[in-house]
Amino acid sequence: MTDWFEIEKTYYMRTFEKVRLPVVLVKGKGAMVWDEKGKPYLDFVGGWAVNCLGHAHPVVVGALVAQAKKLIHTSNQFYTIPQLQLAELLVKNSCFNRVFFANSGLEANEGAAKLARRYGKLKLNGAYEVITALGSFHGRSLAMTAATGQESFHTPYTPLPEGFINVKYNDIEAIKAATTEKTAAVMLELIEAETGVNIPAEDYIKKVRQWCTEKGILLILDEIQTGIGRLGSLFGYQLYGVEPDIITLAKGLAGGVPIGAILAKESCSVFVAGDHGGTFGGNPLACAVGYATMKYIIEKNIAAAADRIGRYLMDRLYQLKQKQPIITEVRGRGLLVAVEFRTEVGQEVLMSCLEMVYSSIRSNPMPSA
Ligand SMILES: *Cc1c(COP(=O)(O)O)cnc(C)c1O
């Protein structure tokens, strides 16, 4: 058998050295994945919140194959149907009026920050600062590294672009104190996902919305992880009784195909010809899969399933917590769920989960097709 670990070590940059598990995955179906030796695993990673319909879902695969045969890519110099269908579907199922498509989460966030700067120049006397939260994660471009409120992401890359102010999360007073005549927007996650599913007080987002309205500045919600049904509603903001000015989406939007999106209210959709663009963003392949995925999620109310299954999962995790004093907390909303341990045993737990093969899983041979 080819030693893929050795090949990775030799040829790939060392970026994933610490996160990669000693498993070479070759196949997936539904909630299952198989490694090259045919060993099955129940997949709780979901491609970092991407595979929202599971692996090899017929709706995703069907749309991908059909569109690949028709037209994979043109350019934004032409109208293409899937892009416009997906844009219309997103607008009709949200509080927003306009859409722009990108290729990833960071690219959507970067675009949203640019939109906030255009808005600041046109409507707020040149205000350009974006207030973000400590413990947030917004992506890995230089600007989004600055937006990300984690010191460890900053230090290797200084000097970072200016104009991003990181303040305490779940603290409306911290946002108020940081707001000046230079502030164009506040950008937040509804739940800080990457740093451990940090859930703010129930009225935090509402208070931030009120403050942004009072000051005439934009509220941007990074829904890259909380959107697409994850929290039990199609978009997370719908659970909090607020309407942001802008949200960003990516991850599950096209069921596994790379895509990102900015959704904005008409009042702040101030981009005009030449202000923003991209070669791949909004191409027919990604958008056809995005359209099929989103249509299915909406029509089958997959968000309600995430709510139901999330409650079941949390219930069972609470039971486990009763028996395992090493578990200090179980928290989450929908299918964004965290288990916190008393000591640093996360990696050990992960490794034993990889080892364990329950009989109900072992009886699943790798599908040949
Ligand atoms: C994953 C993620 C991003 C970055 O998305 P990429 O596609 O990896 O660039 C940004 N914000 C949040 C909240 C995310 O979870």
DSSP 150-211: -HHHHGGGPSPPS-EEEE-TT-HHHHHHH--TTEEEEEE-SSBTTTT-BPPPTTHHHHHHHH
For the stretch 60-107, pLDDT in tens is 999 999 999 999 999 999 999 999 999 999 999 999 999 999 999 999
Total domain count for the chain?
2
The reply to whether 213 and 126 lie within a common domain is: yes
Q: Given this model, what pLDDT does residue 369 score?
A: 63
Instruction: Determine the structural domain holding residue 162 and report its residue range.
Output: 61-299
- Locate the ligand 1 atom nearest the alpha carbon of residue 139 and give its number: 4
> Annotated catalytic residue: which of 137, 164, 235, 271?
137
Last residue of one domain, picked from the residues 299, 331, 350: 299
Last residue of one domain, picked from the residues 262, 281, 299: 299
The reply to whether 149 and 217 lie within a common domain is: yes
The reply to whether 12 and 135 lie within a common domain is: no
For the stretch 10-23, pLDDT in tens is 999 999 998 899 99
Q: Choose which residue among 198, 224, 246 to substitute to test ligand 1 binding: the one with the highest number of ligand atoms within 8 A of its C-beta.
A: 224
The yes-or-no answer on residue 222 being catalytic is yes
189 lines ligand 1 (CB under 6 A): yes
Tell me which residue has its CA closest to atom 11 in ligand 1. 138
**Given a cut of 70, is residue 358 above it in pLDDT?**
no
What's the CATH code of the domain at 21?
A: 3.90.1150.10
3-state secondary structure of 108: helix
- 48 domain-assigned: no
153 lines ligand 1 (CB under 6 A): no
139 lines ligand 1 (CB under 6 A): yes
Last residue of one domain, picked from the residues 299, 321, 350: 299
Query: Rounded mean pLDDT of the chain?
Result: 96
- 54 domain-assigned: no
Would you say the C-alpha torsion 332, 338, 343, 349 has a positive or negative sign?
positive
- 55 domain-assigned: no
The reply to whether 89 and 204 lie within a common domain is: yes
Q: Given this model, what pLDDT does residue 13 score?
A: 96
106 lines ligand 1 (CB under 6 A): yes
What's the CATH code of the domain at 132?
A: 3.40.640.10
> Annotated catalytic residue: which of 100, 164, 222, 271?
222
- 367 domain-assigned: no
Q: Given this model, what pLDDT does residue 366 score?
A: 80
104 lines ligand 1 (CB under 6 A): yes
The reply to whether 230 and 170 lie within a common domain is: yes
Determine how many CB atoms are found less than 10 A away from the CB of residue 331: 16
**Given a cut of 90, is residue 362 above it in pLDDT?**
no
The reply to whether 209 and 318 lie within a common domain is: no
The reply to whether 266 and 311 lie within a common domain is: no
For the stretch 171-221, pLDDT in tens is 999 999 999 999 999 999 999 999 999 999 999 999 999 999 999 999 999
